[in-house]
Amino acid sequence: MDILLTLILLLPLAGGVINACFGKRLPRPVPVFIACGSVIGSFLAALGSFTLATGDGYRLVLFTWLKSGNFQADVGLLFDPLAAIMTLMVTGVASLIHLYAAGYMEDDSDQVRFFALLNLFVFAMLTIVLADNLLLLFLGWEGVGFCSYGLIGFWYRKTENADAGRKAFIVTRIGDLFFAVALLWLFTLFGTISIEGINAQVAGLDMTTVTLLSLLLLVGACGKSAQLPLMSWLPDAMAGPTPVSALIHAATMVTAGVYLLCRMFPLVSLSPTAMAAIALVGIATALYAATCALAQNEIKRVLAYSTMSQVGYMFLAVGLGSVSAAMFHLITHAFFKALLFMAAGCVINLAGHENDIRRMGGMRQRSPLVFWLFIAGLLCLAGAPLTSGFFSKDLILATAFAQGDIFHQGLYALGVMTALLTSFYCFRLAYLVFGGDYRGDELPDEPNGLMLWPLLPLALLGLGAGLLNLPHLFAGGSWLSSWLEREQDVLHLAIATEYLLIGTAVAVFVLGWLLAALRYRRYVQRPASITGKFLLNGWRADDLFDLLLVRPFKKIGRFCSQGVEIGLIDGVLSGTVRQCNGLGIRLRGLGAGKVSLYLQGLVWGFVVIVGWFLLRALI
C-alpha cells in the first residue's frame, strides 16, 4: 500500500522530469503518452489506496528533507479522508484534462514543454494535498505557482502572455509571504510543523495568537485562490492555453486556498473573528466577481470571474464552519468548471479561434454536441434545480441561513444576490454564444475527438455529483459529510424552511434566466456604458494596485539605483578619490624643483625649531 501511495505523487513527477529532460529526443507521440499515462496511473493509484484513508488517516514518511537543531521537515504524506477525496478529484479531473490537452495541443510545436509543466503541476498540486507538514505543503504551494507561471506565459512570444504569467507569480507570492510567516510562527510556538501535530495542540493558544495566525493563513489562501484583495491575476491568467485554464484556474490550483483552510480547520475555527473574516472575504469576492462577470466580452474571462465568484462561496462555507459544504462545492465546481472551460475551448475553435462573444453567436448550429455539453456546465454553474451546483450552493446558503443571527442572514442575502447575478451572466453567455446567427467571419476549426469525449464523463459528473452529498430532503444520506467525519455539518431544518430555501434558490435561477432572456435573446450591439467599462476592468482594481504598489515600488527602486548607488555611494567614493588626488597634486607642487621654495622651507623650518627650543628654555 505504501508503494501505491507513493506512486500517486511519484508518477506525475517522473512524467514531468522525463519529459522536461528527454522529451525532445523522443518521437512525437511518446511524450504525450508519458504525460497522460502518468496522470492516469496516479488516478488509479489514488483509487487503489482510497480505503487507507479512514479515521485519522494513514501516515507515510519517505525521507527527511531538512533537519537542523530541533527543526525537522520530512517528505511525509498524510492520507486522511479529506486528502483522499481531494486526491481523487485532482487526479481524476487532471486525467481528463490531459487527454483533452493531447487533442488541443496536437499541432503545437512546443507540446513537450507544455506536458512537462502540466505533469509537474499535477505533482505540485498533489504535494499540497498529501503533505503531512506545512513546509512540504509550501513546496507544493510554490510549485503550483511556478508551473502556472510557466503555463500562463506558455506562448511567450507575445509579451502580454509573459506579463500575465509574471503577474500571477508575483501576486500569489504576496500571499505566500503571509503563509510563510504563519509557518515560522507555528513552528516557534509548537516546535513542529506537522499538520496533525499543530492541530492537536492549538487548543492551548490564546485568542489573539489564534486570530492572527488564522488571518495570516487567510491572506495566504487568498493569494492562491484569487480572493479579494489578491484576485487581480486570475482574469489575466486566461492568456494561457485553455487546458491550463481548465486545470489550474478552475479545477485545482485556485481551490488550494480553500483546501489549506480546511486542512488547518481546527486552528482556524477557534477564532470567531477569523471565521467572520473568512466568510466576509468569501462573500465579498463572490459578489465582486459576479458583477465583473456581467460585463466581460471574452468567453474565458467570464468563466474566470465566475471561478473567482464560486471560490468565494467556498470561502464563505469555511467561514460558516462547514468543511463539508466547502469541499462539496469544491468538488462539484471542479467538475462543471473544468467542463465549461474545455467546452469553451471547443467553442473558441468552432468560432475560428475567436475569444470575443460579441463575434460569436449561432454556435448551436455549428455543433449541437458542444452546445449541450456547454449548457450542462452552465446549468450547474447557474444552479439549475437538481444539478450538482444546485445542491452544493444550496448547502452553503442554507448553512448561512440556519445560523439565524443578523450577520449570517446578511451573508445569506448577499449569497442569494450573487446567485441571481450568476444565473443572469450564465444565460447571457449562453444566448450570446449559441443563440441567434453567427456574427463573425472566421471559418470554423472543428475540435477533434480527443477534445470532445473527455467532456462527456465530466458532464455526467457535473450533473450528477449532487449525489455525493444528497440531503435528507431528497432521500440522500449526506455521504460526503460522513466520509469527512463532519456529521455536525449536516443541517437539520424544519421542512417548511427547507422548502422555502429551495424555493428561493429555484426562483433566483429562473429570475436570472428570464432577465437574461429579455436582454440578450436578440443580439443588439450596445455602446459600452460607464458602468460597463468599470465592471469590464474589474472595478479598475489594476489601476488601484498600480497606483498604490507598483509605482511606489519602482520609485524607490529608482531612488536606490540613481540616488543612493550612483549619487551617494559612488559620490562619496569619487569625492574621496578627488580629495586624495588634490592633496597629491598640491604635494607634488612642493617637490617641483623650485629652489626658492626649498630655501623658504628651510628658513621657516629653522625658525620654528629654534623658536620651539627658545620657548622651552624660557618656560
Partner 1 sequence: MAIDFPLLSFLLFTPLAGALVCLFIGVGNSVAPRWVALLTAGGVFVVSLLLCLQQPPTAGWLLYEDYRWIEQFGIRYTLGLDGISAVLILLTAFLQVLAVLVSWRQERAPGVYFALLLVLEMAAFGVLLALDLILFYLFWELMLIPMFFLIGVWGYQRRFQAAVKFFLYTLVGSLCLLLAVISLYLLHGDQTGTYTFALEALKQTELSTTQELVFFLCFMAAFAVKVPLFPFHSWLPDAHAEGPAAGSVDLAGLLLKTGVYGMIRFAFPLFPVAAQKTLPLLAGLALVGLFYAAWVAYQLVDIKRIVAFSSISHMGFVILGLAAWNQTAWEGSLLLMVNHAITTAGLFAVVAMIEQRTGTRSLDQLGGLWKSHPNMSAFFLLFCMASLGLPGLANFAGEILILIGVFTVKPLWAVIAVGGILFSATYTLRLVQGTLWGGNCEPHDKQDLHSREWLVLVPLAVLVVALGCYPQPVLDLLREPLSALLLVGGMP
Draw the binding track, 268-307, toward partner 1 (x: CB under 8 A; -: no contact).
----------------------------------------
Q: Which of 174, 417, 467, 515 binds partner 1 (CB under 8 A)?
A: 174
Which of these ranges, 165-173, 229-237, 257-265, 423-431, lies near partner 1 under the rule CB under 8 A?
A: 165-173
Q: Kindly give the interhelix angle for 272-295 and 299-319, rounded to the nearest 10 degrees.
A: 160
How open is the CA angle 322-324-328, to the nearest 5 degrees?
Answer: 125
**Residue nearer to partner 1 on the CB measure, 191 or 605:** 191
Beta carbon of residue 263, minimum distance to partner 1 (angstroms, whole number) = 17
**Residue nearer to partner 1 on the CB measure, 145 or 471:** 145
**159 near partner 1 (CB under 8 A):** yes
**Residue nearer to partner 1 on the CB measure, 149 or 427:** 149
Cell of 610: 629654534
Beta bridge pairs of residue 67: 72
**Residue nearer to partner 1 on the CB measure, 20 or 502:** 20
Beta carbon of residue 266, minimum distance to partner 1 (angstroms, whole number) = 23
Cβ proximity of 354 and 442 under 8 Å: yes
Nearest in space to 278 (alpha carbons), one of 353, 356, 222: 222
Beta bridge pairs of residue 64: 74
Rounded distance between C-alpha atoms, residue 426 and residue 430, angstroms: 6
Beta bridge pairs of residue 586: none
**128 near partner 1 (CB under 8 A):** no
Beta carbon of residue 570, minimum distance to partner 1 (angstroms, whole number) = 6
Which of these ranges, 152-160, 285-293, 335-343, 411-419, lies near partner 1 under the rule CB under 8 A?
A: 152-160
Q: Which of 29, 33, 64, 609 binds partner 1 (CB under 8 A)?
A: 64
Q: Which residues contact 545 (CB under 8 A, 6 or more apart)?
A: 232
Rounded distance between C-alpha atoms, residue 356 and residue 353, angstroms: 9
Q: Which of 25, 55, 107, 188 binds partner 1 (CB under 8 A)?
A: 188
- Site residues for partner 1, window 44-63 (CB under 8 A)? 63
**579 near partner 1 (CB under 8 A):** no
Cell of 54: 479512514
**Residue nearer to partner 1 on the CB measure, 92 or 153:** 153
Beta carbon of residue 185, minimum distance to partner 1 (angstroms, whole number) = 7
Rounded distance between C-alpha atoms, residue 464 and residue 325, angstroms: 16
Residue at grid coordinates 482510497: 50
Rounded distance between C-alpha atoms, residue 180 and residue 447, angstroms: 43
DSSP 399-443: HHHHT-SHHHHHHHHHHHHHHHHHHHHHHHHHHHHHSS-----PP
**Residue nearer to partner 1 on the CB measure, 69 or 591:** 69
How open is the CA angle 285-239-357, to the nearest 5 degrees?
Answer: 80
Nearest in space to 205 (alpha carbons), one of 227, 190, 191, 194: 190
Rounded distance between C-alpha atoms, residue 547 and residue 532, angstroms: 22
Beta carbon of residue 548, minimum distance to partner 1 (angstroms, whole number) = 15
Q: Which residues contact 159 (CB under 8 A, 6 or more apart)?
A: none
**14 near partner 1 (CB under 8 A):** no
Beta carbon of residue 316, minimum distance to partner 1 (angstroms, whole number) = 28
**22 near partner 1 (CB under 8 A):** no
Q: Kindly give the interhelix angle for 455-464 and 368-382, rounded to the nearest 10 degrees.
A: 30
**Residue nearer to partner 1 on the CB measure, 241 or 447:** 241
Cell of 245: 485554464
- Site residues for partner 1, window 539-568 (CB under 8 A)? 553-554, 556-558, 560-562, 564-565
**Residue nearer to partner 1 on the CB measure, 69 or 404:** 69
Q: Which of 22, 156, 407, 598 binds partner 1 (CB under 8 A)?
A: 156
422 C-beta neighbours (distance < 10 Å), count: 28
**613 near partner 1 (CB under 8 A):** no
**Residue nearer to partner 1 on the CB measure, 410 or 571:** 571
**205 near partner 1 (CB under 8 A):** no
**Residue nearer to partner 1 on the CB measure, 548 or 556:** 556
**187 near partner 1 (CB under 8 A):** yes
Cα-based distances in Å from 186 to 127, 198, 209: 20, 8, 10
What is the maximum span of the chain, computed from C-alpha positions, in angstroms? 122
**237 near partner 1 (CB under 8 A):** no
Q: How many residues bind partner 1 (CB under 8 A)?
A: 50
Contact set with partner 1 (CB under 8 A): 20, 24, 63-71, 135, 138-139, 142-143, 146, 149, 153, 156-157, 159, 162-163, 166, 169-170, 173-174, 176-177, 180-181, 184-185, 187-188, 553-554, 556-558, 560-562, 564-565, 569-570, 573
